[in-house]
Structure 1
Amino acid sequence: MLVPSSPQVRLPLVALLAAVCVAGLVPASAQAADAPADDPRSLRRQLQELTTAPGGPPGVIAVLKRGSHTEVHRAGVADTGTGRPIEDTDHMRIASTAKAYSGAVSLQLIDHGTLRLNDTIGKVLPRLPRAWHRVTLRQLLNHTSGLPDYTSAPRFLELVTENPRRHFDSRRLLDFVADKPLAFPPGSRYTYSNSDNIAVALMAEAVTGRRYENLLAHLVYRPLDLHSTSLPQGYRMPEPYMHGYDVVPPNPPEDVSEVLSASGVWASGGIISTPKDMTAFVRGYAGGKLISDRTRRQQLNWVNGASEPAGPGKNDAGLAIFRYTTRCGVVYGHTGNFPGYTQLIAATPDGKRSLTVSLTTQVNKTNKPELLERLRTVQENLVCALLRKQ
């Protein structure tokens, strides 16, 4: 979403901004005859091959948890300078998986009677453009709102280009598209927009009188015991962290971990966490631990739409959650990508089995479409391993 801090960083501006919080499957490399695609030995090899693929990440980690048993697969390094291996306690930018956290907040406020899915922007956020007033919270959460995406606004791109570490007023990000009409009638179709979850967070603040960061701490971090998760405003990463890289062969990987300010993505993609914390989050969130059965039924009303980047198998969109239907079964979760990072979090509908996959470079349909297809194949194989009977 944001641009580099110096001319040396090679990220193309359009691809960077389009994919910040931003499909068929192709086969991964040939598998050994004695190792099925979801066998542990094969999975480790597939992760290693991702790190050596053109434009691939310097490091990747996959955490599978079945009940209380945790299985970690990793390849490459957390830091090319030191060669340190990735750990599940390393911090990272979680990108658009942060949108699920705004869902966790807003859906709990629905249970509390503070918000309703049919509440409109006009009712809760009347200062926003009148042309947007009939958009509902439901449409924001499942990306059928039609809100123009502020990360594509020329003025926003101009400011980011001038200073990638610029501190934005996160609560005024939608001002960059305030002169734009809706892209389509609300509810008429699906289009992924980073503006949607900014509006969701603003709604949560408006009805509670509390800052979104405080709502996250009270409604998400505390009940799920997330001790290494935060929503910062700056560009610094807490130690230890897996370094994120711009990988453009034949140039060596370039560290972009702290190139961009999180203030410009906020509720749409600014959260920092660890694979360990993300595992705890997706088990609780996908498993319905945080919300009532009644609200969960509303959350799991699916529309045709893919996460960004697309996740494994067939994708369908719910309310701040996606259904990934693979050849081995169904998991719920979210994906995301940000300069230096690509993420998948997923869990079974009961939350008892979960998967997190984190790469230390950005992979999406715009910048590396072939690698994305290969990654989705590996992700599906990991889902199959997760769902396999033990």
Structure 2
Amino acid sequence: MSPRPRRSALPAVTVLPAVTVLLAASLALAPAGGAAAAGRDGHQDGDRALRARLRELVERPDGPPGAIAVLREDDRVRVIRAGTAEVGTRREPRAEDHMRLASAAKAFSGAVALRLVDCGLLGLDDTLARRLPALPADWGAVTLRQLLDHTSGLPDYSRAPEFGALLNADPHHVFDSRHLLDFVAGRPLEFDPGTRYQYSNSDNIAVALMAEAATGQRYEDLLASQVYRPLGLTGTSLPSGYRLPRPYLHGYDVQPPAPPQDVSTRFGASGAWASGGLVSTPADFSAFAAGWAGGPLIGDATRAQQRAFVDGASEPAGPGTNRAGLAIFEYTTRCGTVYGHTGNTAGYTQLGAGTPDGRRSLTVSVTAQVNETGSPDLLAHLRAVEEDFVCALLAP
């Protein structure tokens, strides 16, 4: 990579009071149980139905051992759960349990980038040639905008045979996260930038590298200053190793009739980095989902650019009809529209979404990997459950 420029001044951090209250409320309510939290808000009957929907998922032979959802409206929080946080125990999933966010981490790298756009340190039309001249010249015309909405054409490093071979030989292999694109540096773009949508893990690696080049600061530090502190997130981190902070939701490989296999720490995070390496909690993820979907995390002009949608689904697809914006997806359901991101990795599948005003948010986290390739029927079931939760979120 090219030498880093001198450190640039970044915008001051302002903690959002409503989200800070949300975080405290989430943690306070979580141990009390979903029914108790629901009863305080007058949603007991509706939450009983939602809990039954989660229970249907975890009771499937191929279902995740645990599931937890967090719904918030302003400072009111409802925590709904089913199953167990760890097979062989009776411990329920809790809002302060750590978990892998998988590709929902792409929304965080998008948040860093758009905060830098807001303060003029990055431009959506900045190119790789300008910001990262050490990358292949053939990729030079790709813009930050195209990286964020997956229309860049960058080949996906995570599909490179050399990357897969290293991971198969040692799942805990520590990659140089800032050189993950080296695995595909000899390959041309897969299509002309901006001409079509193709989800690629390479995109958000390049986004993080552009943010570092623009500021002279490490991406991990930018996450702290531009996302964690403004939103009051205290349980979110970007590790390089395979361990998870305790307590954590155990993630499983579910292949019936064999018993679920714990894969929580099977893989290290360095090979995913800005594309999927984040660890968070349901409480933090809910706070982020609200701030990212709406509210003052980014300015109105940047928000308008973020919501210039193209046809394309998140991975895995979220509820309803999906369209892709700048590190955010539009999910149009039978009950209305929310904005957010999904993710899946070994042991975990995530949805985080919120309303355009940032007043309401929803997260659904399950402790197994669910996607179209491995479990299409289970994914269809999960998406239907997610849509029911969206309807509950948007209900008056």
Compute the TM-score of the two structures, normalised by the length of structure 1.
0.89
Mapping 1:346-365, distance limit 5 Å: 346-365=353-372
Secondary structure of the 2:330 match is strand
Shift of 1:52: 1.3
Is 2:284 the counterpart of 1:290?
no
Aligned to 1:9: none
Is 2:286 the counterpart of 1:273?
no
**Contact kept? 1:288, 1:296, Cα under 8 Å:** no
Mapping 1:108-257, distance limit 5 Å: 108-257=115-264
Shift of 1:54: 2.8
Distance in 2 separating the partners of 1:81 and 1:214: 38
Residue-by-residue CA offset, 1:344-382 (whole Å, 9 max, x unaligned) = 000000011110000000000010000000100000000
Secondary structure of the 1:351 match is coil
Distance in 1 separating the partners of 2:251 and 2:90: 14
Secondary structure of the 1:384 match is helix
Distance in 1 separating the partners of 2:65 and 2:115: 38
Residue-by-residue CA offset, 1:94-137 (whole Å, 9 max, x unaligned) = 11010000011000111111110000001100100111000000
Aligned length: 352
Aligned to 1:299: 306
Shift of 1:41: 2.4
Aligned to 2:9: none
Q: Percent same amino acid among aligned pairs?
A: 64
Aligned to 1:69: 76
Secondary structure of the 2:331 match is strand
Match of 1:44 among 33, 45, 51: 51
Shift of 1:40: 2.4
Residue-by-residue CA offset, 1:163-189 (whole Å, 9 max, x unaligned) = 000000000000000011111000000
Letter in 1 for 2:83: G
Structure 1 outlier segments of 4+, above 3 Å: none
Letter in 1 for 2:258: N
Shift of 1:77: 0.3
Aligned to 2:112: 105
Distance in 1 separating the partners of 2:307 and 2:144: 15
Match of 1:388 among 375, 379, 395: 395
What do you get for the CA RMSD once the two structures are aligned?
0.9
Letter in 2 for 1:326: T
Is 2:338 the counterpart of 1:342?
no
Secondary structure of the 2:167 match is helix
Shift of 1:265: 0.2
Higher relative contact order (CA 8 A, sep 6+): 1
Structure 1 unaligned runs (5+)? 1-37
Letter in 2 for 1:104: A
Shift of 1:39: 3.2
Residue-by-residue CA offset, 1:206-261 (whole Å, 9 max, x unaligned) = 11000000000000000100000000000000000000000000000010000101
Mapping 1:73-88, distance limit 5 Å: 73-88=80-95
Shift of 1:60: 0.1
Distance in 1 separating the partners of 2:79 and 2:113: 32
Secondary structure of the 1:262 match is coil
Secondary structure of the 1:337 match is strand
Aligned to 1:312: 319
Shift of 1:73: 1.0
**Contact kept? 1:227, 1:277, Cα under 8 Å:** yes
Shift of 1:330: 0.6
Letter in 1 for 2:140: H
Letter in 1 for 2:99: M
Distance in 2 separating the partners of 1:55 and 1:166: 29
Shift of 1:46: 1.1
